[in-house]
Amino acid sequence: MKHLEGKVIIVTGGAAGIGGAMTTELTERGACVVAVDLNEDAGKEKAAANPGQIAFLKGDISKESVAKEAVALAISKFGKLTSLVNNAHASRQKPLLELTEEDWALSMDTGLKGTLNFMKAAYPELKKTKGAIVNFGSGAGLLGQENQASYAAAKEAIRGLSRVAANEWAKDGIRVNIVCPLAMTEGVKQWKQNFPEQYEEVIGKNPMGRFGDPQKDVAPIVAFLLSDDSQYMTGQTLMADGGDIKLR
């Protein structure tokens, strides 16, 4: 299955977790990936395992300079940029009234601002290649999950931004879609430990009765949105969540 051959994709948070799983899956489908992450050990290990298809950039995605550097690396190493996946996002889970200014800044800077930085930096190259962007939303935002105010707010802001970009950039041949995953990541494992009752409640209501596997369940949906198979889709939110939320 090499339907991503010729694609050059930036993946933020692409060294580990759900982003690392995407990097692996996308390269197995023929793509080249620039993985941007703060986790230097995991990033170097990923790139060393497949230097022909993976380049690693250590950087804080909330900084505009890092986004520009990632685009430059894609061009210098792989000759072009066709796709962008904005996956990285850091946040803290607390009741709404306990979230500090720093907590809000962390979520908005890495979530909304990071996504915006990379979209703006990638735009000129994606316009050349008629490229595709996949941004990450969350069921936490759609449901208004407790203890997730800063994260949910940033995720819904990302969805709003994505819909506007889908409308504005369609004339440039750039597609922008959103994926909301329910996947067993390190962050979810931590959340499960901290809020076991919430975790059991989510599992209990899920039609498939499980959290997805980042590589087997989520990455293929991202791969579809980056492939030419989805050429007539833009501005859409796709739920990769085992039927947890059914959008109307």
> Hey, which residues are catalytic here?
151
Spatial distance between the Cα atoms of 210 and 184, rounded to a whole number of angstroms: 9
- 205 contacts: CB under 8 Å, gap ≥ 6: 244
Query: CA nearest 119: which of 76, 91, 153, 85?
Result: 85
* DSSP-assigned letter for residue 176: E
Does an H or E element contain 84, and which?
strand 83-86
Quickly tell me which residue has 């210098």 as its tokens: 76
Phi, psi at 220, each rounded to 5° = -65, -30
Spatial distance between the Cα atoms of 22 and 237, rounded to a whole number of angstroms: 18
